Structure 1
Amino acid sequence: MILVLAGTLDGRQLAVDLVGEGHEVLLSVVSEYGGELARNSRLTVRVGPLDQFELVAFLKQTPIRMVVDASHPYAANASQNAMTACRDAGIPYIRYERPAVPLPEYERLYEVYDAAQAAKTAAKLGNIVFLTTGSRALSLFKGEPLLADKRLIARVLPEPAVLKECLELGFSPRDIVAMQGPFSHALNVAMFEEFQAEVIVTKNSGQVGGSDTKISAAMALNLPLIVISRPKINYGAAGYSKQEIITLVKEAFLCNI
């Protein structure tokens, strides 16, 4: 059985593709919402977070022969935990890395290394900062002293726990956009205009994550655009497409026969 770690659309699609290749697959997702989406694809699903030690125990207690890590490109801790757990359990680890969007030549684009640098950079560029980075780094933006007198708009998934977190961090309901993406170029333009955004902050989550249309919308409005770079991780065996992953899985099984 292959354990696929995923919570995103392309991760779920990859699990379906592996089933189509004749593999028995268990999909692991963190949230109940992700579980619902996966069950709609008729996948066998496990819901709930797994830290490194829980994952090691899970791998030893179940007939998992391989892990395919299709977690979000910025879920560095999840990937590091999975690699360590696979080494401890003595099973192959394969990474599916969603292709990034090539960054255009745009004089108002600022590529930064992490959310902390993004927060400091945003504070210099405008008073209304539209955050399209997901919910995990919101506390960092809210806690940055340089942003204390700025208006922060958070676009996040419409999940109860995420909305609760936003409110607890001090986001006003009028500054929370709870919608499921990805969003079209036109809708991004409309949102940025509606909130009178002066700075856009995003991650390079690839076309599947809607990075292309966020970038094009910011450029169309001539807005400063801050892009947080992906964490640099040596995954070892990694593929960037469905076919590459299928080939790596086949090779890994042959090597472990």
Structure 2
Amino acid sequence: MNSVSNTRRPAVLLLGGTSEAGAIASHLATHPDLKLISSLAGRVAHPKLPTGQTRIGGFGGVEGLITYLQQEKIQIVIDATHPFAANISRNAAAACQRLGIPLISYVRPPWTPQQGDHWQDVPDLEAAAALTRSYHRIFLAIGRQELAPFATCIHPWFLIRTIDQPDVPLPPNAKLILARGPFHLADELRLLKAHAIDCIISKNSGGPATYDKLEAARILGLPVIMVDRPTPPTNNVHTIEAVLSQISTELGRLITKY
């Protein structure tokens, strides 16, 4: 494949904020045949910035994203956002379809129950909140942005762990821990035992960074209320290698146009 001049390098927008997006950025930031721009939502106070050029903040819905793609002359979009970041994924799919821009959608594989697990799958956070009366001391590990459905749950006591301070009301009986993963099995076991946890509520985010709480639940025989992820709006791939392969294919198609 022949390289293109710097003035003609296709611009690639990487919608990130995940560890996998960081890995993709590391592969592509110095690629001779493209210009990479990583985008972070800006919802974490001190995010780990990926390699290369980065922008932080929202786009303003589908129309705002379309405007940005046109202004920056973006020719490929990679969606490697969190599996629960449904809004930006929908907006990216709609914007790319409107403009005829290739969209490569990476979706982290979900967790699946193993032998000895006691999971109850629920479709959303509201359904999870409705089950809390069956338990006394719940480890609520869903992040800070989606705590609102639990604010009126007055029966159980909650242990809540988030990266940053939540900006929504907490349940009346709750303890907040601020911490950033990855979390290790021994630490998760200590945490659950020290707080006498009898149930975990988790989103099915997938990935290794926060999985050890589920292994700890298996060891301790604890039930897990698992919130299903939203359905991604486009066809997707599940490995970084597949993302890079699709990038090569799209670059080849674009370069032959010059």
Q: TM-score range by the shorter chain?
A: 0.7 to 0.9
What corresponds to 2:201 in structure 1?
201
2:107 maps to 1:97:
yes
TM-fit CA distance, 1:9? 1.7
Q: Is the 8 A contact 1:239 1:248 kept in 2?
A: no
What corresponds to 2:125 in structure 1?
115
Q: Is the 8 A contact 1:27 1:43 kept in 2?
A: yes
TM-fit CA distance, 1:242? 1.7
Q: 1:141 aligns with which of 150, 156, 161?
A: 150
What corresponds to 1:210 in structure 2?
210
Task: Say if 1:7 and 1:105 are closer, same or farther in 2 by CA, change over 3 A.
Answer: same
Question: Secondary structure, in 3 states, of the residue corresponding to 1:233?
Answer: coil
What corresponds to 2:116 in structure 1?
106
What corresponds to 1:242 in structure 2?
240
Question: Secondary structure, in 3 states, of the residue corresponding to 2:232?
Answer: coil
Q: Is the 8 A contact 1:10 1:208 kept in 2?
A: no
- Two-structure CA RMSD over aligned residues (Å): 2.1
**Paired residue type of 1:25:** L
Q: Is the 8 A contact 1:3 1:27 kept in 2?
A: yes
2:188 maps to 1:188:
yes
Task: Say if 1:35 and 1:192 are closer, same or farther in 2 by CA, change over 3 A.
Answer: closer
TM-fit CA distance, 1:106? 3.4
Q: Is the 8 A contact 1:8 1:34 kept in 2?
A: no
What corresponds to 2:250 in structure 1?
252
Q: 1:24 aligns with which of 7, 30, 35?
A: 35
TM-fit CA distance, 1:216? 0.7
**Paired residue type of 1:44:** Q
What corresponds to 1:150 in structure 2?
156
Q: Is the 8 A contact 1:3 1:64 kept in 2?
A: yes
Unaligned runs of 5+ in 1: none
TM-fit CA distance, 1:42? 3.6
Question: Secondary structure, in 3 states, of the residue corresponding to 2:190?
Answer: helix
TM-fit CA distance, 1:169? 3.7
What corresponds to 1:230 in structure 2?
229
Percent of aligned positions that are identical: 26
Question: What is the CA–CA distance in structure 1 between the aligned matches of 2:66 and 2:110, rounded to whole Å?
Answer: 30
Question: What is the CA–CA distance in structure 2 between the aligned matches of 1:119 and 1:94, rounded to whole Å?
Answer: 34
What corresponds to 1:48 in structure 2?
57
Question: What is the CA–CA distance in structure 2 between the aligned matches of 1:32 and 1:113, rounded to whole Å?
Answer: 24
TM-fit CA distance, 1:65? 0.8
Q: Is the 8 A contact 2:185 2:216 kept in 1?
A: yes
Unaligned runs of 5+ in 2: 1-10
Q: Is the 8 A contact 1:114 1:228 kept in 2?
A: yes
TM-fit CA distance, 1:46? 0.2
Q: Is the 8 A contact 2:136 2:198 kept in 1?
A: yes
TM-fit CA distance, 1:20? 4.3
